[in-house]
Chains A and B, each alone.
Chain A
Amino acid sequence: MPTKPEPVVSISDLHVDFALRTNAVARLIGSSSGTVRAVDGVNIELAAGEVLGIVGESGSGKSTLGRALLGLVRPTGGSVRYRGQELVGLRETQLRPLRRKLQMVFQDPHASLNPSMTVGRAISDALRIHGLHPGAAARAAAVAAALERVGLAPAARFVDKYPGELSGGQKQRAVIARAIALGPDVLVADEPISMLDMSVRSKILGLLDELKRDLGLTYVYITHDLASARFFCDRIAIMYLGKIVETGPTDEIFANPRHPYTKALLRAVPDPDPSHDVPRDLPRGEVPDAADPPAGCPFHPRCPESFAPCGWQLRDVRMILEQRWTTVDPEQYTAEVRLAGDAERFNAPEATPGVGVVHPAAGRAEELLAVLADERDTHPEEPLWRGVQAMAADDRAVRLEFVPRAVPQLLPIAGSDVSVSCHLYHEPVPDGGSDDAGSVSPAQ
C-alpha cells in the first residue's frame, strides 16, 4: 500500500464494560455482582469513503462498539478518535457538535422515530438543535431536500405524516433522511435492513449505497447477516464475545475464511440454492454468557478445530458429560448424574491455575474418574482431551490438569491483509498464570 491516508475514525484498545446488578438493592446502592465485557480490546481504523462491516451474532458486542464510536455509551478504556480528536472522556456538550458528523441508523425504524412527531418535524428539530439552516423557510427547504434525497418524494406528501402512517421501508427512509440532513461524515448503520421484508431490503441497501457515493459518506455497517455484508462492505471485522476474531478485505475473508468461527458462520448461512446440502459439521452449543466467558479463546468450547492450548477448563468437562448423557441409556445416566452430583460443582474456580478439582458425591471420586476415562475412550477425537494433561482421583476429588492456556491475539497473517485471532495461525503464548481477561471469571 502507498502512503496511508489519515483514518476518519481510529479506535484503539477500546473496552466497554457493563456492570451486572442482580437485584433492586444492589441497583440502589450501586454495588455490582460482576461485569460484562461487551467490547474487549478492539482496534479499528476507518478509512474515508469505505464501508466497514462489523459482523457477529447477538451478544458479540457489535452494537455496543457502534454506539461507543458515537459516544452513545461510555467506554471503560481505550480511545476513539474522529479525525484526530479524542472522543473518550468528552462531556455531552463537547460531543454534540461532533454528533452532527457521526450519525446513526438503527435496526428498528419504528423505535427510532417519535410516534407523536411528524417526519418533517423530526428532521427540522435535528437541524434546529445543531443550528443548521437557520430560519423557518431555509429549514423547511432543507427538510424537503433530505426527504426527496431518500426517495420520499414529493416531500410535501410526507412532511406532515406521522411514523404510524408509513410502511416499514418508508420509516427507515425517514430515519436515513434525518441522519443525512445534518451533513454527516460517518454513518453507523446498525442492522438497518434486518427488520424489513425481503423485497424492501434490497431497496434500502441500494439507497445506502447510492447515498455513500453521492455524499461521500463513510459507513460502519453492523449486521449479523453475512450475505448483505458481503455485498455491501469493503472490509469486514468478525466479532465474537466482545473481540474481533478476524478482519480484512471482504473479498479475501469470503474467499478464504481462516478463523474457525468465520468458517462456521459462512457454512451456516442458508443458501437459496437447493442443489447445496445442509452442512453437517456445525459448532456445538451457543454463544456463552458474556458475563462469564470461557478461558483462553472464547470460541474454544464450540470450535471444531480447537486443540490443546485453546483454554480448556473444568466447566468444559461438564459440557462433555451433558453431551454424553443425551446419548447413553436412561439407567446409566440416572446413575451417572447421581454420581457427578450438582452440575455447579464443575464451575468451581481454580485454586491452582490450570488445575480443575471436582468433588463428586461422597467418596465416589474413583467412579467419576472411571466415567471420565470411559468418555475419553469412547470419544478420543473430542478436542477437550487434548487439553487435559493428567486426570487422577484421590479419596475425595477428581483432579484434572490442563495444558497451559493461552489467549489468542489478533495478529496479521503474513502475505495477506487479514488479521486473525487464533492459535492455529500464531504460536500460542501461555498466560503464565497472570490475571488475564479470559482466564478469570469476573462473576465470582
Chain B
Amino acid sequence: MSAPVVDVRDMRVWYAGPSGPVQAVDGVTFALRQGEVLGLVGESGSGKSTLGRGLMGLVPRGAAIDGSIEFDGRDLLSLPKKERGRVRGAGMGLIFQEPMTRLDPLMKVSKHFTEVLKVHEPKLSKDEARIRALDALRSLGIPPTRYDNYPHEFSGGMRQRIMIALALVLRPKFIVADEPTTALDVLVEAQILRILADIRERYAPAILLITHNLGIVAEACDRVAVMYAGRIVEQGPVRDIFATPRHPYTRALLNSTISLSTRELHSIPGAPPDLVRPPTACRFHPRCEHVMRVCADVFPPTVRVDRQEAECWLLATDRIDAAGRAPLSRQEVPVADEA
C-alpha cells in the first residue's frame, strides 16, 4: 500500500474560552491515502471543524496546536513557519461551508483565480493561468461566459462550485471540505456530492469531508471517523461502521438520525459535554447505556475489531477486573438538559 498523504498522530488543539482553556481536539490519530475520502462526523462542539482547520493551520489567535501532522512525508508542525505556509498553500485545499463569505465580493471570479495562481505558481504566464482557471471552472459546469462575473452574480450552488474550482486549480494532494453542502438545497447538495465523486475519479486527491450528515458520509466517503468531545471514538470503513457500529455513541448517533426509512424516533439522553471540564475517563460515559465503573475511572483503550477501531471498554472487557465491570447507573438527566 502507498504511504499516506496525510498522517496525523495525537493531534491536539486548545484555545482560551470564557471559563478556561477549551480542549477542542484532544489527541486524534488518523491517516488518509491518495484518492481516499474520509468522513469526519460529529455534532456541533465535537471539535470536527477545529480539527479540519487545525490541519490547514487556521486556528484562532492564541490557540495552541500539538502532536504531529505529516503531509507528503513532512511533519508540518516542525517546519519553519514560512515553509509550513508554502507547503500548505500549494498542496492542501480547503472548501468552506459558506462560499459567499470566502469569495471577495469586489473581485471578479477571474481575479480570484489569477491571484491564487500568481502566488503559488508564479512561473505561469497570464494566458496559461487563464486556461488553467477556465479548465477548472468548466470541469465544474461553470461556462466560460461567466469568467468575468462577480461572486454575487452567481447562485449559491454556483458559488460553491467556484470555491471548489479555486481549491482544485492548484491540484492539491489533500482537500479539507468543511460542511461543503450544508447551506445548499437538497438538489444542489446532490449535485455537489456528484462533483466530489467526479473529482475523486479525475484527480484522486485525499479528501477529509467534515459533516454532521450521516447520509452524506454514506454516499460520499470510503471511511468514517466519528468525533465526540474532541476525540475520534471510532473509525473504519463506512460500510462496516454503518452495519456494525462498535462504539455506543456511533450506534446512538446512527439510531437518532432521521432518514427516509425512519419509522420510530430514537435519541441520545443528555447533552454533549462542556469541553472546558469534560467528564473523567471516557467522555461519553455519563450518556452511555452500557456504562461501567471503569468507564468513569480509566481512559478506554483503542481496540481494533476487524477493520474498525473504537475507543471503548466494552471491547476490552477481559482487561477489566470485576469491580471495574460493575454497572454504573447512567447519570439521571432531566428531559430539559437533553437538548
Inter-chain contacts of A172 with B (CB < 8 A): 339
Q: Are A275 and B215 in contact, with the CB atoms below 8 A? A: no
Least CB distance from B319 to A in Å reads 29
The residue on A at minimum CB distance from B335 is A151
Contact of B336 (CB < 8 Å), options: A57, A157, A278: A157
* 0/1 interface trace, chain A 263-293, chain B, CB 8 Å (1 if under): 0111111111111111110110011000000
Q: Are A202 and B265 in contact, with the CB atoms below 8 A? A: yes
Interface flag for B253 (CB, 8 Å): yes
Q: Which of B188, B197, B217, B254 has the most CB of A within 10 A?
A: B188
Q: Are B212 and A286 in contact, with the CB atoms below 8 A? A: no
Q: Are A278 and B194 in contact, with the CB atoms below 8 A? A: yes
**Chain A positions near chain B (C-beta within 8 angstroms):** 57-58, 151-154, 157-158, 167-170, 172-173, 196-206, 209, 224-228, 230-231, 254, 264-280, 282-283, 286-287, 322-323, 325-327, 330, 333-334, 337, 343
Q: Are B189 and A203 in contact, with the CB atoms below 8 A? A: no
Contact of A278 (CB < 8 Å), options: B134, B220, B260, B266: B220
Known: A278-B197, A282-B194, A326-B138. Contact between A268 and B189, CB under 8 A? yes
Q: Are B193 and A199 in contact, with the CB atoms below 8 A? A: no
The residue on B at minimum CB distance from A324 is B143
Interface flag for B294 (CB, 8 Å): no
Docked Cα-Cα span, A230 to B259, in Å, equals 9
Interface flag for B239 (CB, 8 Å): yes
Known: A153-B335, A169-B339. Contact between A270 and B142, CB under 8 A? no
17 contacts between A and B (CB under 8 A): A57-B186, A151-B339, A153-B335, A154-B334, A158-B336, A168-B339, A197-B212, A200-B338, A264-B187, A268-B189, A270-B215, A272-B242, A275-B239, A322-B145, A325-B138, A325-B143, A326-B141
Least CB distance from A128 to B in Å reads 25
Q: Are A286 and B156 in contact, with the CB atoms below 8 A? A: yes
Least CB distance from B279 to A in Å reads 17
User: Could you tell me the dominant secondary structure of chain A's interface residues?
Assistant: helix
Docked Cα-Cα span, A254 to B262, in Å, equals 13
Interface flag for B219 (CB, 8 Å): yes
Least CB distance from B239 to A in Å reads 5
Docked Cα-Cα span, A324 to B254, in Å, equals 42
Q: Are A202 and B194 in contact, with the CB atoms below 8 A? A: no
* 0/1 interface trace, chain B 140-159, chain A, CB 8 Å (1 if under): 01111110000000011110
Contact of B260 (CB < 8 Å), options: A200, A226, A277, A334: A226
Interface flag for B66 (CB, 8 Å): no
Q: Lowest 5 A-B CB distances belong to which pairs? A: A169-B339, A270-B215, A151-B335, A268-B190, A322-B143
Q: Are A279 and B339 in contact, with the CB atoms below 8 A? A: no
Inter-chain contacts of B338 with A (CB < 8 A): 151, 169, 200, 203
Interface flag for B252 (CB, 8 Å): yes
Q: Are B262 and A57 in contact, with the CB atoms below 8 A? A: no
Inter-chain contacts of A157 with B (CB < 8 A): 336
Known: A199-B267, A275-B239. Contact between A170 and B187, CB under 8 A? no
Inter-chain contacts of B158 with A (CB < 8 A): 286
Q: Are A228 and B258 in contact, with the CB atoms below 8 A? A: yes
Contact of A170 (CB < 8 Å), options: B189, B214, B218, B336: B336
Inter-chain contacts of B64 with A (CB < 8 A): none
Inter-chain contacts of B141 with A (CB < 8 A): 323, 326
Docked Cα-Cα span, A268 to B216, in Å, equals 11
Inter-chain contacts of B146 with A (CB < 8 A): 322
The residue on A at minimum CB distance from B157 is A286
Contact of A280 (CB < 8 Å), options: B43, B194, B261, B266: B194
Contact of A57 (CB < 8 Å), options: B138, B142, B187, B254: B187
Inter-chain contacts of A326 with B (CB < 8 A): 138, 141-144
Q: Are B242 and A203 in contact, with the CB atoms below 8 A? A: no
Least CB distance from B149 to A in Å reads 10
Q: Which of A157, A196, A278 has the most CB of B within 10 A?
A: A278
Inter-chain contacts of B188 with A (CB < 8 A): 286
Interfacial residues of chain B within 39-74, with CB under 8 A of chain A in the complex: 43-44
Docked Cα-Cα span, A279 to B218, in Å, equals 13
Interface flag for B257 (CB, 8 Å): yes
Docked Cα-Cα span, A287 to B156, in Å, equals 10
Interface flag for B123 (CB, 8 Å): no
The residue on B at minimum CB distance from A287 is B185
Q: Are A268 and B186 in contact, with the CB atoms below 8 A? A: yes
Q: Are B142 and A203 in contact, with the CB atoms below 8 A? A: no
Known: A273-B218, A282-B191. 13 other contacts (CB 8 A): A57-B185, A151-B336, A151-B339, A170-B339, A196-B339, A198-B212, A198-B256, A200-B339, A209-B265, A226-B260, A270-B189, A274-B239, A334-B144
Docked Cα-Cα span, A170 to B218, in Å, equals 30
Q: Are B259 and A272 in contact, with the CB atoms below 8 A? A: yes
The residue on B at minimum CB distance from A343 is B145
Least CB distance from A280 to B in Å reads 7
* 0/1 interface trace, chain B 115-146, chain A, CB 8 Å (1 if under): 00000000000000001001000100111111
Interface flag for B81 (CB, 8 Å): no
* 0/1 interface trace, chain B 208-248, chain A, CB 8 Å (1 if under): 00001111111110000000000000000011001000000
Contact of B219 (CB < 8 Å), options: A198, A226, A278: A278
Least CB distance from B48 to A in Å reads 12
